[in-house]
Amino acid sequence: MNHKNISPKNKAVFFVIIFSGFFSLFNFCFAWETVAPGMEYQQFTLSGPVNIFVVRASRANPNLVIDSMMSQGKIRTGLETVRNMANRYEGYVNYSKEQYDVVAAINGDYFSYSTNYPTQGQVISGNFVDRYPDYGGTGIFGWKRDGSVFVDANIVNTGINRQYIKFENEEQYELTDLNVARGTNQLILYTPQFDNHTYTNNAGTELLVKISNMPLLIEQDTTGTITEKHINQGSTWIPFDCVVISGNGTAATPLNNHNVGEVVIVRLRVKSYGDYTGGTEPGRNWEYAYASVGGAGWIVKSGVVPSDDWSNDQGAIIRDPRTATAFNEDYIYFVVVDGRTGISIGMTFTELGNFCLNYLQADHAVTLDGGGSSTMVVNGMVKNHPSDGAERAVSNGLMMALVSPAPISTQFGTGDRVGTFALTNLYLGPGTNYGIVATAPSSQGGGIVEHSFNGVYAKGNYWWKWKFGATEGWSAETSLMSITNVSNNWEKYY
């Protein structure tokens, strides 16, 4: 039966019939609460009992952005609660100078407690920062800035002309991996999302490359210029608009032959095989993917709940807390189910799939990490009751945000002489969500450095790139003052 062909007056009866096999719907109020322009929230209670928390966003909203989040703002270190991650990205500015107003957030992929890395890969703000395992076979959620959404199952990173660096002299070298600890004879690409610096040892060569067209979009060639070269000098800082090409052993040798000022091309491509295990889903187009995280698998696939896909999985028989994202032509949904308590027993994969299909009318849905990780945050508040009794720190997540052009200050200009009022942190990018590269003393003089992001408003302040001595970084406008006409002898601080 095609649920989309049922008349509106019979839909309520239809839903009761559908749910009668496992739950009945208690609340038929269908009362969506507006939580932001184009975004609505609702809690549902089913018999069982089961509590379900849903946020939906209109895909037609031109100011909507779906993006992924990283714990501690980095891939390499730590775990963090969904609420803290959402707060971290509030006021964040992306590479298009758009400011984020985070409305809703949920936990993301499964993760390793030994490494804190997500089990699969990740795309954040258009940057491909963590590879998905080749032929992973599980659900991958993706979103693009044109509002298109997709679920994939199997992609491949390696192969001819997939992921490599290319120099001006046409030399081309395949990358071993992205944002992982560098091993023997490996060529690793580090992005600003990895950590503040590369954390490599002295046995290797690293090229710092200033990127001219961030972000590092999948399927697009990204061009940059080598600004620093370090041979056997250890870890390299990673500013927000740069990458580091790091080689060890045989992978370091070709890097030694290239110098500051040369142009480098970074290409990151993937091959999608879709549901290659015999299903009907074709490969997906990853070009211009803006956000992506991994999940456990499809729970709604082209309007069908594919229960056979997990017949041997515990999710087929065990009711647990669940997290999912779903979509149809009109909406994208974040869904969290409470479980493991007397007030909410949770759902199986099939039950959650049926809810997404028959009530939300989702064409596709993918389940993410569940259990104690399942958390929904709306406008800074946790809406559900995580089964651990408190929020669990997790590896990554997904957020719905409204974006707007970030305000720009004209307080300073390139070449202006500035000084510090007090001890002043210099960050790797415009905002406190980036790492601190140095601290300038009080009454330190310096000069504004040319950058297209100068004066951008992020994380509650305007930001400027400036330099004193050999040190460069970003500081808040409130920490700097013009010293052009100051009577103090600031020259001594240059």
Spans of all domains in the chain = 31-155+271-404, 163-268, 417-493
Evaluate whether 41 touches 35 at the Cβ level (below 8 Å). yes
Angstrom CA distances, 61 to 124, 165, 453, stand at 20, 37, 26
3-state secondary structure of 419: strand
Give residue 115's pLDDT. Answer: 87
The position carrying tokens 């407690």 is 113
Give residue 25's pLDDT. Answer: 47
* Rounded mean pLDDT, 165-178: 96
Res 3 pLDDT > 60: no
Per the structure block, which two tokens stand in for 115? 């490494």
Give residue 492's pLDDT. Answer: 43
Give residue 161's pLDDT. Answer: 78
- pLDDT tens figures, 30-80: 589 999 999 999 999 998 899 999 999 999 999 999 999 999 999 998 899
Res 195 pLDDT > 60: yes
Res 494 pLDDT > 80: no
CB 455: neighbour CB atoms within 10 A? 21
pTM: 0.91
Nearest CA to 276 out of 176, 373, 138, 411 is that of 138
List of residues 6+ apart from 249 with CB closer than 8 A: 184, 185, 186, 203, 204
Alpha-carbon distance of 5 to 8, in angstroms, equals 9
pLDDT interval class at 419 (50, 70, 90): very high
More confident residue, 77 or 186: 186
Cis geometry, peptide bond prior to residue 254 (ω within 30 degrees of 0):
no
pLDDT interval class at 23 (50, 70, 90): low
Give residue 312's pLDDT. Answer: 67
CATH topology of domain 417-493: SH3 type barrels. (2.30.30)
Give the burial class of 404: count Cβ atoms within 10 A of its Cβ; 0-12 exposed, 13-18 middle, 19 or more buried: exposed
Give residue 429's pLDDT. Answer: 98
* Rounded mean pLDDT, 15-38: 62
